[in-house]
Amino acid sequence: MKPSKTEVCRFLVVVGLVGLPAVAYAANLVAERDDAAVTVPVASRAKDSSKCSRQGRESRKLSTGELEKMASLKDQLLASTGPQTTQLRLLERQLREQLAKQNIDKDQVMQTQSRINALRDQLSNARLSYRLDMMSILTPEQKEQVQRRLLVSNAFGGFRHHRRHCKESGERAVARS
């Protein structure tokens, strides 16, 4: 029994939406039915995108020393901002509880919100300091690549969740975030 055009179209939509698990499931169905009319390109998608995802990574590689410094900076950031983040979540919860009361005390709500704003400012400044420290570790070529990504992000909305063209093979690949 050959599949109809609608079945093939549905299959292609499922492959596009769900991805490889659906392809593997469909491949098993096709193998069970021994129907040679339907071909399932299981490996072609992953093979093409992996070639594109490696493009340009050679110049972005970080040395072990750079990675250790970056990990140390991140540990310092998390250790220094951990208590503030916890306090921020508690204050946000308090604010929601205050707003859920029958009689809302405006002064108390405003005071809680100002404390939340102050903590957010402190956390934002700590993250910015972390980013600046990370940039000081990078080589000039790596800094140039970061600058380019930031410029593209500002101009076009970034690399995340968008398609881009692979320069090597000319085929489209999904950008990895």
pLDDT by residue (tens digit) across 109-126? 999 999 999 999 999 999
Q: State whether 93 and 156 are in the same domain.
A: yes
Specify if 110 maps to a domain: yes
Specify if 58 maps to a domain: no
Q: Residue 167 — pLDDT band, cuts 50, 70, 90?
A: low
Q: Residue 89 — pLDDT band, cuts 50, 70, 90?
A: very high
Domain enclosing residue 121, as ranges: 64-160
Q: State whether 34 and 70 are in the same domain.
A: no
Q: State whether 33 and 79 are in the same domain.
A: no
What mean pLDDT, rounded, does the chain reach? 74
Decide: helix, strand or coil at residue 165. strand
Exposure b/e, 101-137, CB count within 10 A at least 16 = b: eeeeeeeeeeebeeebeebeeebeebeeebeebbeeb
Percent of the chain at pLDDT exceeding 70: 58
**Distance between CA atoms of 93 and 34, rounded to whole angstroms?**
58
Q: Which tens digits make up the pLDDT trace of 133-160?
A: 999 999 899 889 888 888 888 888 765 5
Q: Enumerate the β-bridge partners of residue 172.
A: 165
Specify if 53 maps to a domain: no
Q: State whether 95 and 132 are in the same domain.
A: yes
Q: Answer for the pair 60, 35: CB distance below 8 angstroms, yes or no.
A: no
Q: What is the pLDDT of residue 46?
A: 43
Tokens read off for 138 = 């990078």
Q: What is the pLDDT of residue 2?
A: 74
Q: State whether 108 and 22 are in the same domain.
A: no
Q: State whether 71 and 154 are in the same domain.
A: yes
Q: What is the pLDDT of residue 9?
A: 61
Alpha helices in 19-139 (DSSP H): 20-33, 44-53, 64-100, 106-137
Specify if 18 maps to a domain: yes
**Number of domains present in the structure of the chain:** 2
Specify if 177 maps to a domain: no
**Distance between CA atoms of 83 and 146, rounded to whole angstroms?**
30
Residue 138 backbone dihedrals phi, psi, to 5 degrees? -70, 155
Element (H, E) at 172: strand 172-174
Q: State whether 78 and 133 are in the same domain.
A: yes
Specify if 56 maps to a domain: no
Q: Answer for the pair 21, 35: CB distance below 8 angstroms, yes or no.
A: no
Q: State whether 90 and 19 are in the same domain.
A: no
Q: State whether 72 and 126 are in the same domain.
A: yes
Q: Which tens digits make up the pLDDT trace of 8-18?
A: 666 665 555 55
